[in-house]
Amino acid sequence: MAEPDRTSRIADREAEALAEIAATRISRRAAWSACLFFVLVIFLGAASELVPLKGRKVSPRIRGPIVPISWGHITYSWRVAGFKGVQYRIRLLLTSVRERAERDSAFSRLVRPHLQSFFLHELRYGNSQVLPGEQGWLFYKHPFDQVVAPPFLAPEVLERRARPGWTRYPARSPDPVPGLLRLGRALERRGTRLVFLPIPEKEQVYPERLRPRAWREAPVNPDFDELVARLEAGGVAVFDAPRLLFRAARSRDDLWATQDTHWTPAGMELTAAAVAEFLSQRFGTLPGEPVRFGRRPIRHRLRGDLLGMLGLAAGDRPPNGFQFEATEVLGPDGRPYLAAATAAPILLLGDSYSLVFQGKEDGTFGAGLAEHLALRTGRRVSQLASPLETELDDRISLLRRHPAVLKAARLVIYEVATRGLGTYDWKSAGLGPPGGRHRRPAPSRASP
């Protein structure tokens, strides 16, 4: 560090800056033009924020009130949490205004699709959410971060994830094992077995589509095997879907949707069959009465969530999504079988991987993981799944809200995307006594 001389450096720096600005060389006309251009750009930008784009589909967020807060919100927050509650509510408002300005502004909606198309096609670059791979394959960035992340059971990683200030939502219980074991024991006391079913990420099944090279083994987190060993040692059966699907993907490329985060019906059906076999091997005769299910081919459509995240120009998106051949499962009565929250000996607790081929919205009924588990096991399968309630506490809450489903279940299959192993909070309030009262907690922050 240089010592200053006796004269004041402060005055020097100020004088230097003032002299420098005074020495600006610009003609009066150029200065006028520059100022007018700048002011025009920012004021036109401001004006464009207020004008919805004509002829475009306006998102519900745009249609919503400009100020998404009311006096009722504030008084409620005050009653519930006092000053902190009001502060939280105001921060929520300010953040939503910012997000709205960034994501839904008319200017952004006009420019983004074209620029994003240019980036994707000319520079092979996605955005903060999507990574482009080979031959039109797209990958979700969030799972990518988790696939390359440090060992998720390493003490320093667990400590960091729990550290306040390190992440926006510090995890109270970053280690998945204790919570899952606790759930396993609670279920066991009810005579029910827990099976853990981690679903791999697309990057783990088709890594060569993201980075072409000879992949001899699936890129799984180094702590995945430790997780399996600890859960198995604690009495929770684990089905190693990542390696199964990686091996299967060496000889076929139809297990995952190229422009969607999720698996295809082929990937899901392959998993369902393998899980059914695993259950038979592990538990012998499966609980419940055998049921004869039928099947019929249907066509299914995926919209391509990754294309949606890119927000490409209309010409770059298939108007009706992508068509798939799927198999719909039929019940003994010959009607489509839909695994709902009803009493059944096998229960699937799932997320969007369970939901992806079910429901009216996608044009099909009963072609999802739960239905195919039913088809392969020959047993009725019920399902509790929500794309927003993905963390352990959410799942337990789901179980407690459906006591009849829980009571009937002898096997609970806990399906979760592997990215959750290193990102979810695995805290657990416990299953509680059968039939006990339970207050429904707010859905967690996690997204599928």
Partner 1 sequence: MVFSSHLFLFWFLPIALGLYYVSPRRTRHLVLTLLSYVFYGWENPAFCVLLLFSTAVDYLAGLRMDAAAGGDAAPRPSARRRWLLFSLVTNLGLLGFFKYFNFGLESWNGLVRAAGLEGAAIETALRVTLPLGISFYTFQSMSYSIDVYRGRVRAIRSFVDFACFVSMFPQLVAGPIVRFAEVADQLRNRSHTLAKFARGAAFLTVGLAKKVLLANPCARVADAVFDAGSASVLDAWQGLVAYAFQIYFDFSGYSDMAIGLGLMLGFVFPKNFDSPYRATSMTDFWRRWHISLSTWLRDYLYIPLGGNRRGPGRTYVNLAITMLLGGLWHGAAWNFVAWGAYHGALLALERRVGEERLYSWLPRPLRIAVVFVLVLFSWVLFRAADLTSALDYFARLLGLAPVLPPAALLPALVRSPYLVATLVLAAVVTWGAPQTWTWTRSLGTTRLATAGGLLLLVLAMLATQDYNPFIYFIF
Residues 16-35 that bind partner 1 (CB under 8 A): 16-18, 20-21, 23-26, 28, 30-35
Residue 206 CA: distances (Å) to CA of 121, 214, 267, 326, 435? 21, 11, 12, 21, 44
Where does this chain touch partner 1 (CB under 8 A) — which range of 217-225, 301-309, 321-329, 428-436? 217-225
Question: Given the complex with partner 1, which of 35 and 233 has the nearer CB atom?
Answer: 35
Give the shortest CB-86-to-partner 1 separation in angstroms: 10
Q: Footprint of partner 1 on residues 185-214 (CB under 8 A)?
A: 203, 207, 210-211, 213
64 binds partner 1 (CB under 8 A): no
Ramachandran quadrant class, 366 (left: phi over 0; alpha: psi -120 to 50; beta: rest) = left
Give the shortest CB-67-to-partner 1 separation in angstroms: 13
Of 56, 61, 121, 163, which lies in the binding site for partner 1, with binding defined by CB under 8 A?
A: 163
Give the shortest CB-255-to-partner 1 separation in angstroms: 18
Q: Footprint of partner 1 on residues 329-348 (CB under 8 A)?
A: none
Give the shortest CB-299-to-partner 1 separation in angstroms: 32
48 binds partner 1 (CB under 8 A): yes
Q: Footprint of partner 1 on residues 355-394 (CB under 8 A)?
A: none
Give the shortest CB-282-to-partner 1 separation in angstroms: 28
Contacts (Cβ under 8 Å, ≥6 apart) of 2: none
* Beta bridge partner(s), residue 238: 196
Q: How far is 308 from 314, CA to CA, in rounded Å?
A: 11
Give the shortest CB-424-to-partner 1 separation in angstroms: 17
Question: Given the complex with partner 1, which of 25 and 54 has the nearer CB atom?
Answer: 25
Overall residue count recorded for the chain in this entry: 448
Give the shortest CB-207-to-partner 1 separation in angstroms: 6
Residue 324 backbone phi and psi in degrees, to 5: -135, 150
Q: How far is 365 from 359, CA to CA, in rounded Å?
A: 5
| Residue 295 contacts residue 330 (beta carbons within 8 Å) | yes
Question: Given the complex with partner 1, which of 179 and 422 has the nearer CB atom?
Answer: 422
Q: How many residues in the shown chain lie near partner 1 by CB under 8 A?
A: 85
Ramachandran quadrant class, 50 (left: phi over 0; alpha: psi -120 to 50; beta: rest) = alpha
Of 295, 298, 306, give the one whose Cα is nearest residue 362.
Answer: 298
Of 55, 65, 72, 164, which lies in the binding site for partner 1, with binding defined by CB under 8 A?
A: 164
Q: Footprint of partner 1 on residues 222-241 (CB under 8 A)?
A: 222
Give the shortest CB-221-to-partner 1 separation in angstroms: 7
Question: Given the complex with partner 1, which of 94 and 233 has the nearer CB atom?
Answer: 94
3 binds partner 1 (CB under 8 A): yes
User: Which H/E stretch holds residue 313?
Assistant: none
Q: Footprint of partner 1 on residues 86-145 (CB under 8 A)?
A: 87, 90-91, 94, 97-99, 101-102, 105, 107-108, 111-112, 115-116, 119, 123-125, 127-128, 131, 133, 144-145
Question: Given the complex with partner 1, which of 222 and 290 has the nearer CB atom?
Answer: 222
Question: Given the complex with partner 1, which of 99 and 277 has the nearer CB atom?
Answer: 99
Q: Footprint of partner 1 on residues 142-161 (CB under 8 A)?
A: 144-145, 147-151, 156, 160
For residue 119, give the amino acid letter.
F
Query: What is the end-to-end Cα distance of the chain in Å, rounded?
Result: 52
Please report, to the nearest 10 degrees, the dihedral formed by the alpha carbons of residues 105, 108, 111, 117 taken in order: -130
Q: How far is 328 from 9, CA to CA, in rounded Å?
A: 79
Contacts (Cβ under 8 Å, ≥6 apart) of 148: 219
Question: Given the complex with partner 1, which of 213 and 440 has the nearer CB atom?
Answer: 213
Where does this chain touch partner 1 (CB under 8 A) — which range of 45-53, 68-76, 356-364, 409-417? 45-53
| Residue 431 contacts residue 186 (beta carbons within 8 Å) | yes
DSSP letter string, 256-302: B-TTSSSBPHHHHHHHHHHHHHHHHHHHSSPSS-----EEEEEEEEE
A 10 A CB-CB count for 214 gives 5
